[in-house]
């Protein structure tokens, strides 16, 4: 059951697709406070949700602010990441309920931070809608929530292959070298992502002709090898008289404006840039149409970036900083307070300043609304712009699209990656814990930057992270300029194991793709916490580092440096597979309980649930070569007998998702 409550005069967010009648009367479970709402938690209460946020699967014990932020340091003490995913799922003894706060600005959560036993939340303004979901268990409430917010984005099947990416590929030759090395080393590959350097002066919808003289030819040639190029599109539009996007946007008045009506400018990669007002349908249509510049060159997929939006500085504030430095320069002795607040704090404070976010405006239904009031809609609306345009231009064809910033609602138009993480074991665990959190908010097509984006990865981290990453829908190895090179062929001693793990991914695709499609078409789950399927098992509720994956698998990844195994909890008997490759593995049926299991660096642990089947193909070098007619069936059938598996097979390109002929029943 979902109850919808409305307070004040909410700004429409587009997050919800089902229109429910408004409820009067009191809100169940919650107690009103002066600011918002509060709820008392028992010692064993678990709070799931919030999507892309720091800390564990259980969000209890910290405070958070939904406030989309370009946060480059993913440490435990952060309050906000790139997405606004205002869905909570609370299990408190017999109480099991969901909350969705439908509000486009900041939402503050205190989940046992001030007091360990108290959950509070409030919106920055008193105008919002609140949905309360109840009357079912964790899985039932998640399904109901997903129905409320609408069907999740479905990418083409090739988007489930490996994507190799790096900020730092500067030329066509850099890109070809990646393809060549993957081939030479027998490493599968489906995508090469192009970061900001392919553009001319970091201007959206341009190609640097010097470094990429013929992008169409490059794209065609790689596609013939089964590899697609996936360019980046940034939110900021380069200010440049000669730039078509800039000119057109200016002429049409499509950019966000300052209070005085002139376009708002801030610096990002191209230097000074304008920001399209994606909240206006006509602007979305226009900007979405601009992607055609690249789709005409054969491009079939994009990643939207910098769309919180990230602002390095505004010219006025930089000027003020430089003025304050000039004043300091005249002083004889600088106090420590001046040094830290003005020099260090001043320089660091230029970026992503709340002052800047309060200095420009959107037009919503003809009304001028200050950006910070609707901040969390921005990135998702950029994704929506592209998604709506693709659906219009190629209604039968799936395009790949994923974004850094997002809001619940934009899950209908694209996937996400989990932002600019870093090469650390802690971030591998964060990847594991964040996957079910973002997926329960609708972002099924998701994944983290494998090996880590910033800082230097290590050979063992690269391999261990892949051993989890081979299960995530988006499987992308991405890194920042200046860090250790981390393409999978850079680790000679790990290469045989990496090759086997990549092949394992492709071999698992019949299962992974089917489970993804079930999750998308039936509002089901792909990754989920153990406690969702075993709500009565207190030990399952404790587990924060194992995940159920679809109907048949449980994953227990290794995320600890130098570990040669781990403890795994089985809520019921399962068949353990300790895989070195798709056809080299140990198997053992284990009883329910805690098990200390070996798992060497080149092995991965997967568990088959009783009565389930996992169809496995032969490995392939890319998705187009995958043969899903010749399947091996993994199963654990404790009572003997047979089982059936609903497998989804289609061409992977067209949008006739619902055609019943895509389903086939496989029997063991």
For a second copy, the binding residues in 421-450 under the rule CB under 8 A are: 422-426
Q: How far is CA 588 from the centre of its chain?
A: 34
269 lies in the binding site for a second copy (CB under 8 A): yes
Q: Find the binder of a second copy among 493, 584, 586, 627 (CB under 8 A).
A: 493
321 lies in the binding site for a second copy (CB under 8 A): yes
- Closer Cβ to a second copy, 342 or 635, answer by number: 342
Report, in Å, the least distance between residue 484 CB and a second copy. Answer: 9
Query: What is the β-pairing status of strands 475-477 and 162-164?
Result: parallel
322 lies in the binding site for a second copy (CB under 8 A): yes
Contact (Cβ atoms closer than 8 angstroms) between residue 573 and residue 592:
yes
Count of residues that interact with a second copy, criterion CB under 8 A: 76
Identify the sign of the CA torsion 109, 114, 119, 123: negative
Contact (Cβ atoms closer than 8 angstroms) between residue 165 and residue 195:
yes
- Compose the 116-135 pattern: x for residues touching a second copy by CB under 8 A, - for all others: xx------------------
Q: Find the binder of a second copy among 272, 292, 394, 646 (CB under 8 A).
A: 272
Strand partners, 193: 230
Report, in Å, the least distance between residue 76 CB and a second copy. Answer: 4
CB within 8 A of 482, min separation 6: which ones?
168
- Closer Cβ to a second copy, 112 or 524, answer by number: 112
Tokens of 612: 């389930």
C-alpha to C-alpha distance for 181 and 155, rounded to whole angstroms:
26
459 lies in the binding site for a second copy (CB under 8 A): yes
355 lies in the binding site for a second copy (CB under 8 A): no
Cα separation values, 135 from 71, 147, 149, Å:
37, 15, 18
Q: Return the axis-axis angle of helices 459-469 and 495-521, rounded to nearest 10°.
A: 30
- Closer Cβ to a second copy, 45 or 555, answer by number: 45
In eight-state DSSP terms, residue 470 is T
Q: Find the binder of a second copy among 89, 101, 141, 267 (CB under 8 A).
A: 267
38 lies in the binding site for a second copy (CB under 8 A): no
Contact (Cβ atoms closer than 8 angstroms) between residue 57 and residue 544:
yes
Segment lying near a second copy (by CB under 8 A), choices 74-82, 396-404, 577-585, 609-617: 74-82
Residues 220-239 that bind a second copy (CB under 8 A): none
- Closer Cβ to a second copy, 118 or 171, answer by number: 118
Cα separation values, 206 from 210, 286, 309, 527, Å:
12, 16, 20, 38
| Residue that the structure tokens 């869905």 belong to | 87
The C-alpha angle 575, 577, 583, rounded to 5 degrees, equals: 130
Residues 559-598 that bind a second copy (CB under 8 A): 560-565, 567, 569, 594, 596
Residues 404-423 that bind a second copy (CB under 8 A): 422-423
Segment lying near a second copy (by CB under 8 A), choices 56-64, 255-263, 474-482, 624-632: 56-64
Residues 75-114 that bind a second copy (CB under 8 A): 75-77, 112-113
Report, in Å, the least distance between residue 470 CB and a second copy. Answer: 19
DSSP for 545-594, please give it: S-EEETTTEEE----STT-SEEEEEESS-EEEEEEEETTEEEEEEE-SEE
Residues 522-561 that bind a second copy (CB under 8 A): 539, 542, 544, 560-561
Pick the closest to residue 429 from 294, 547, 553, 289 (CA basis): 547
Report, in Å, the least distance between residue 352 CB and a second copy. Answer: 12
43 lies in the binding site for a second copy (CB under 8 A): yes
Q: Find the binder of a second copy among 5, 39, 48, 62 (CB under 8 A).
A: 62
Q: Find the binder of a second copy among 58, 86, 523, 525 (CB under 8 A).
A: 58
Tokens of 198: 């392919």
Report, in Å, the least distance between residue 249 CB and a second copy. Answer: 19
In eight-state DSSP terms, residue 233 is E
- Compose the 598-617 pattern: x for residues touching a second copy by CB under 8 A, - for all others: --xx----------------
468 lies in the binding site for a second copy (CB under 8 A): no
C-alpha to C-alpha distance for 259 and 360, rounded to whole angstroms:
6
Residues 324-343 that bind a second copy (CB under 8 A): 325-326, 328-329, 333-336, 339, 343
Segment lying near a second copy (by CB under 8 A), choices 4-12, 270-278, 616-624, 647-655: 270-278
Q: Find the binder of a second copy among 60, 85, 280, 404 (CB under 8 A).
A: 60
Q: Find the binder of a second copy among 127, 456, 583, 650 (CB under 8 A).
A: 456
DSSP for 337-374, please give it: HHIIIIIIHHHHTTTT-HHHHTS-EEEETTEEEEHHHH
- Closer Cβ to a second copy, 562 or 629, answer by number: 562
- Closer Cβ to a second copy, 151 or 541, answer by number: 541
**Residue 509 backbone dihedrals phi, psi, to 5 degrees:** -60, -35
Residues 362-401 that bind a second copy (CB under 8 A): none
455 lies in the binding site for a second copy (CB under 8 A): yes
Tokens of 364: 């919503």
Query: What is the β-pairing status of strands 62-66 and 31-32?
Result: unpaired
Segment lying near a second copy (by CB under 8 A), choices 139-147, 383-391, 454-462, 512-520: 454-462
- Closer Cβ to a second copy, 522 or 584, answer by number: 584
27 lies in the binding site for a second copy (CB under 8 A): no
Report, in Å, the least distance between residue 182 CB and a second copy. Answer: 22
Rg, the chain, Cα only: 25
| Residue that the structure tokens 């078409």 belong to | 521
Pick the closest to residue 517 from 252, 155, 141 (CA basis): 155
Helix, strand, coil in percent for the chain, rounding step 5: 30, 25, 45
320 lies in the binding site for a second copy (CB under 8 A): no
Q: Which helix (H) or strand (E) holds 273?
A: strand 271-275
Pick the closest to residue 499 from 430, 602, 391, 363 (CA basis): 602
466 lies in the binding site for a second copy (CB under 8 A): no
C-alpha to C-alpha distance for 184 and 127, rounded to whole angstroms:
58
């Amino acid at each position: 059951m979902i109850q919808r409550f409305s307070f004040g005069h909410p700004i429409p967010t587009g997050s919800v697709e089902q229109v429910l009648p408004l409820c009067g009367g009191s809100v169940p479970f919650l107690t009103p406070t002066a600011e918002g709402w509060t709820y008392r938690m028992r010692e064993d209460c678990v709070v799931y949700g919030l999507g892309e946020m720091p800390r564990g699967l259980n969000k209890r014990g910290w405070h958070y602010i939904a406030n989309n932020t370009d946060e480059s340091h993913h440490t435990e003490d952060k309050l906000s990441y790139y997405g606004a995913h205002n869905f909570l799922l609370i299990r408190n003894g017999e109480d099991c309920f969901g909350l969705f706060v439908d509000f486009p600005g900041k939402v503050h959560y205190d989940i046992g931070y001030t007091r360990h036993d108290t959950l509070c939340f409030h919106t920055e303004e008193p105008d919002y809608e609140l949905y309360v979901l109840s009357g079912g268990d964790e899985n039932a409430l998640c399904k109901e929530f997903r129905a409320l917010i609408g069907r999740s984005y479905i990418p083409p099947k090739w988007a489930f292959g490996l994507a190799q990416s790096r900020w730092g590929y500067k030329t066509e030759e850099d890109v070809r070298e990646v393809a060549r090395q993957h081939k030479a080393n027998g490493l599968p590959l489906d995508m090469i992502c192009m970061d900001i350097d392919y553009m001319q002066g970091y201007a959206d919808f341009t190609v640097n002709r010097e470094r990429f003289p013929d992008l169409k030819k490059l794209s065609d040639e790689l596609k013939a090898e089964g590899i697609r190029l996936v360019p980046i599109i940034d939110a900021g539009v380069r200010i440049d008289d000669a730039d078509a996007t800039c000119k057109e946007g200016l002429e049409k008045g499509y950019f966000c404006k300052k209070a005085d009506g002139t376009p708002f400018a801030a610096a990002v990669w191209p230097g000074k840039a304008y920001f399209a007002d994606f909240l206006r349908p006509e602007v979305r249509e226009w900007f979405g149409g601009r992607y055609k510049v690249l789709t005409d060159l054969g491009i079939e997929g994009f990643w939207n970036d910098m769309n919180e939006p990230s602002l390095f500085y505004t010219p006025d504030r930089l000027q003020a900083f430089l003025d304050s430095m000039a004043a300091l320069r005249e002083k004889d002795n600088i106090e420590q307070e001046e040094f830290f607040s003005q020099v260090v704090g001043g320089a660091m404070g230029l970026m992503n300043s709340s002052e800047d976010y309060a200095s420009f405006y959107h037009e919503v239904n003809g009304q001028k609304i200050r950006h910070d009031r609707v901040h969390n809609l921005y990135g998702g609306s950029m994704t929506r712009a592209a998604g709506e345009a693709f659906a219009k231009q190629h209604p039968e064809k799936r395009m790949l699209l994923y974004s850094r910033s997002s809001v619940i609602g934009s899950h209908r138009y694209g996937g996400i990656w989990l932002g600019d993480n870093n090469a650390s074991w802690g971030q591998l665990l964060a990847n594991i814990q964040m996957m079910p959190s973002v997926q329960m908010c609708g972002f099924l097509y998701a994944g983290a930057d494998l090996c880590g984006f910033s800082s230097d990865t290590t050979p063992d981290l690269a391999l261990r992270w892949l051993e989890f990453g081979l299960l995530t829908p988006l499987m992308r190895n991405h890194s920042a300029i200046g860090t250790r090179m981390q393409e999978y062929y850079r680790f000679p001693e790990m290469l045989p194991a990496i090759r086997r793990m990549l092949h394992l991914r492709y071999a698992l695709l019949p299962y992974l793709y089917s489970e993804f499609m079930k999750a998308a078409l039936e509002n089901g789950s792909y990754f989920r916490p153990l406690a969702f399927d075993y709500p009565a098992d207190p030990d399952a509720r404790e587990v924060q580092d194992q995940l159920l994956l679809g109907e048949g698998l449980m994953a227990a990844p290794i995320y600890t440096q130098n570990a040669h195994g781990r403890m795994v909890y089985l809520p019921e008997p399962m068949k353990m597979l300790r895989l070195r490759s798709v056809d080299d593995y140990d198997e053992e049926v284990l009883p329910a309980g805690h098990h200390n299991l070996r798992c060497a660096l080149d092995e991965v642990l997967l568990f088959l649930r009783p009565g389930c089947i996992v169809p496995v193909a032969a490995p392939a070098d890319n998705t187009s070569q995958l043969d899903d007619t010749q399947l091996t069936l993994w199963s654990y059938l404790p009572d003997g007998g047979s089982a059936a598996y609903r497998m989804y097979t289609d061409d992977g390109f067209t949008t006739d998702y619902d055609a019943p002929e895509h389903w086939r029943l496989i029997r063991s």
